[in-house]
Amino acid sequence: MLQMRISFLIALATALVASATSPASATPPTSLDVTASAVNFYYNRFIVTADGNVRVRLSDGTVVSGETFTMDLKLNRYLVAGDVHLDGPTVHETGAAFAGYPDLDRSYFLPASGTPSRATYLGIDWAHPVANREQPGDAFYFPDLTGERAYIKADGARIVPKTNVLFDMARVYTAGVYLPAPRYVVTFGPNSHYYENAFAGGRLDVGVPFNGSAHSLTALHVRNDAFNGTYLAFDQHFVWDQDWIVFGVDPLTQEQRQYNLIGYKRWSPKFESRLFLQESAAQAGIINRPTNAAGFAQLQLTGGFRGSSLTYTQDNYYQYLLGLPHGITDLNVSTPEFDTRWKEHPTDASLVFTGGPTPLTHGSTRLLLRPRAGIGWAHDIYGEGGYPNEQPGPPTVSYRYLGGSLYTPAINLTRSLAFTASYDRQRTWYSLPHQLDNGDLRLTLGGVRERQHLRAFVAYEIKTIDDYWGSAQLAAYTPSPDITVTPFGTFSGQAAFRGLATSRGYTSSVIYTPTPSFELNLMLSRFYDTPAPVPGLYGQPPWQFAADLRVRLSRQILLDLGRSYYFNFANERWTPQFVIQFTP
Determine the pLDDT at residue 384.
57
Of 128, 116, 119, 82, nearest to 100 by C-alpha is 119
Q: Torsions phi, psi of 541, nearest 5?
A: -60, 135
Residue 490 maps to a domain:
yes
Residue that terminates a domain, selected from 131, 162, 193:
162
Is residue 210 within 8 A of residue 194, CB to CB? The reply is no
Beta strands in 134-255 (DSSP E): 152-160, 164-174, 177-187, 204-213, 216-225, 229-239, 244-250
Residue 459: partners with Cβ closer than 8 Å, 6 or more residues away: 442, 443, 444, 445, 506, 507, 508
The answer to whether the Cα torsion of 353, 356, 362, 368 is positive or negative is: positive
Q: How many other CB atoms are there within 10 angstroms of residue 150's CB atom?
A: 19
Residue 112 maps to a domain:
yes
Helices then strands, counting H and E runs in the chain, come out as: 2, 37
Q: Domain of 108: which CATH number?
A: 2.60.450.10
Q: How far, CA to CA in Å, does 440 sit from each of 212, 405, 421, 446? A: 47, 9, 11, 19
Determine the pLDDT at residue 130.
86
Is residue 456 within 8 A of residue 434, CB to CB? The reply is no
Residue 511 maps to a domain:
yes
Is residue 171 within 8 A of residue 147, CB to CB? The reply is no
**How is 229-267 classified by DSSP, letter by letter?**
EEEEEEEEEEE-SS-EEEEEEESSSSSEEEEEEEEEEEE
Is residue 164 within 8 A of residue 217, CB to CB? The reply is yes
Q: How far, CA to CA in Å, does 528 sit from each of 84, 484, 503, 568? A: 77, 19, 6, 16
**Helix, strand, coil abundance in the chain, percent, nearest 5:** 5, 60, 35
Of 33, 40, 43, 41, nearest to 65 by C-alpha is 33
Residue that terminates a domain, selected from 134, 162, 190:
162
Element (H, E) at 446: strand 434-449
Is residue 560 within 8 A of residue 549, CB to CB? The reply is yes
Q: Torsions phi, psi of 185, nearest 5?
A: -115, 130
Let me know the angle formed at the C-alpha of 203 by 200 and 209, rounded to the nearest 5 degrees.
70
Q: Domain of 554: which CATH number?
A: 2.40.170.20
Residue 208 maps to a domain:
no
Q: How many other CB atoms are there within 10 angstroms of residue 566's CB atom?
A: 19
Residue 473: partners with Cβ closer than 8 Å, 6 or more residues away: 498, 499
Residue 12: partners with Cβ closer than 8 Å, 6 or more residues away: 261, 263, 275, 277
The answer to whether the Cα torsion of 201, 206, 210, 215 is positive or negative is: positive
Determine the pLDDT at residue 189.
83
Q: Is 324 left (phi over 0), alpha (psi -120 to 50) or beta?
A: beta
Is residue 520 within 8 A of residue 549, CB to CB? The reply is yes
Burial class (CB in 10 A: 0-12, 13-18, 19+), 217: buried
Is residue 561 within 8 A of residue 549, CB to CB? The reply is yes
Give Rg (Cα) of the chain: 31
Determine the pLDDT at residue 482.
74
Is residue 77 within 8 A of residue 99, CB to CB? The reply is yes
| Identity of the residue numbered 80 | V
Cα 100 to its chain centre, rounded Å, is 35
Is residue 314 within 8 A of residue 347, CB to CB? The reply is yes
Residue 360 maps to a domain:
no
pLDDT in tens, the chain (584 residues): 434 444 444 444 444 444 443 433 335 678 999 999 999 999 889 999 999 999 999 988 999 999 999 999 999 999 999 999 999 888 899 999 999 998 888 899 988 876 667 889 888 888 888 887 788 878 888 999 988 899 999 999 999 998 899 999 999 988 788 989 899 999 988 888 888 999 887 778 888 899 988 899 999 998 888 788 899 999 999 999 899 999 999 998 888 889 999 999 999 999 999 999 999 888 877 677 777 788 899 999 999 988 899 999 999 988 777 766 544 444 444 445 555 555 567 899 999 999 999 898 877 778 999 999 999 999 876 665 555 544 556 778 899 999 999 999 999 999 889 999 999 999 999 988 889 999 999 999 999 988 889 999 999 999 999 999 888 888 888 877 777 777 777 777 677 778 899 999 999 999 999 998 999 999 999 999 988 888 877 788 999 999 999 998 876 678 899 999 999 888 889 988 888 887 76
Cross-strand bridge partners of residue 181: 170
Q: How many other CB atoms are there within 10 angstroms of residue 63's CB atom?
A: 13
Is residue 56 within 8 A of residue 159, CB to CB? The reply is no
Element (H, E) at 4: helix 2-19
Residue 337 maps to a domain:
no
Residue 151 maps to a domain:
yes
Structural domains of the chain, count = 2
Let me know the angle formed at the C-alpha of 365 by 359 and 369, rounded to the nearest 5 degrees.
25
Element (H, E) at 513: strand 500-515
Of 88, 123, 128, nearest to 102 by C-alpha is 123
| Identity of the residue numbered 266 | R
> The domain containing residue 49 runs over which residues?
32-162
Residue that terminates a domain, selected from 136, 162, 188:
162
C-beta contacts of 544-551 below 8 A and 24+ residues apart: 546/521, 546/522, 547/520, 547/521, 547/522, 547/523, 548/520, 548/521, 548/523, 549/519, 549/520, 549/521, 550/518, 550/519, 550/520, 550/521, 551/517, 551/518, 551/519
Residue 189 maps to a domain:
no
Is residue 501 within 8 A of residue 465, CB to CB? The reply is yes
